[in-house]
């Protein structure tokens, strides 16, 4: 469970509601497994007072993993992209070791199943080009190694020949899918996000589509 609050006093109010509910229903929170994170605005420093849950002070952290996605105080996605790069490396190496003697069609099927998910990639908005490129290179090299293709063969050509979405196509489709689901939701909070034309997600989605169109034209 995650509590989001615009201020310390609001967070304390939410925590008190949780404490009363837990007491009324015979539940108990584990304060040692609970953490606090402050989303910072720029480089401004903050003097944050202690926050307690059932009488125990909570630890302040700069990042935490929620549903498999890394959330950071700076709201950047470098940590999560690196998490996915490492996971992709593990999955691809497993395929390369275990299925080296399989046919090309089998390898293509396995690659689609194990290496093209790129978990939560539709949420990546703020990241360095170095981190993003490292994941893209890992993705391309994983396919080359699995199919035993030359190291410097064309990435777009090998994926087009195999009829597999390349890295940029996967990112583009995931973002489009997210935006369709957000816009089609009846949830009032999601509708607020969908109706904002200046939102980071919509800007990133538009930028991704424009870049993909430019690549296709070239």
| pLDDT per residue as tens digits for the range 40-52 | 777 777 788 889 9
As a whole number of Å, the CA-based R_g of the chain is 22
pLDDT at 179: 84
Per-residue pLDDT band for 1 (boundaries 50, 70, 90) equals: confident
Q: Which SS3 state, helix, strand or coil, does residue 159 take?
A: helix
At 94-150, the pLDDT tens digits run 999 999 999 999 999 999 999 999 999 988 988 999 999 999 999 999 999 999 999
Instruction: Retrieve residue 215's tokens.
Output: 């690549």
pLDDT at 169 over 80: yes
pTM of the model: 0.83
Q: Residue 205 and residue 200: Cα distance in Å, rounded?
A: 8
């Amino acid at each position: 469970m995650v509590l989001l609050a615009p201020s310390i006093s609001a967070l304390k109010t939410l925590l008190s509601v949780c404490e009363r509910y837990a007491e009324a229903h015979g539940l108990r929170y584990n304060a040692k497994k609970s953490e606090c994170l402050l989303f910072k605005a720029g480089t401004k420093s903050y003097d944050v007072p202690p926050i307690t849950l059932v009488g125990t002070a909570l630890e302040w952290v700069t990042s935490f993993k929620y549903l498999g996605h890394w959330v950071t105080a700076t709201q950047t996605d470098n940590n999560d992209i690196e998490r996915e790069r490492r996971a992709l490396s593990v999955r691809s190496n497993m395929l390369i070791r275990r299925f080296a003697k399989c046919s090309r069609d089998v390898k293509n099927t396995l690659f689609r199943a194990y290496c093209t998910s790129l978990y939560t990639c539709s949420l990546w908005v703020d990241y360095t080009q170095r981190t993003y490129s490292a994941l893209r290179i890992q993705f391309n090299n994983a396919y080359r190694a699995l199919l035993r293709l030359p190291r410097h063969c064309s990435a777009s050509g090998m994926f087009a020949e195999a009829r597999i979405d390349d890295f940029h196509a996967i990112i583009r489709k995931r973002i489009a899918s997210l935006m369709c689901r957000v816009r089609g939701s009846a949830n009032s909070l999601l509708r607020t996000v969908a109706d904002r034309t200046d939102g980071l997600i919509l800007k990133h989605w538009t930028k991704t589509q424009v870049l993909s169109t430019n690549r296709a034209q070239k």
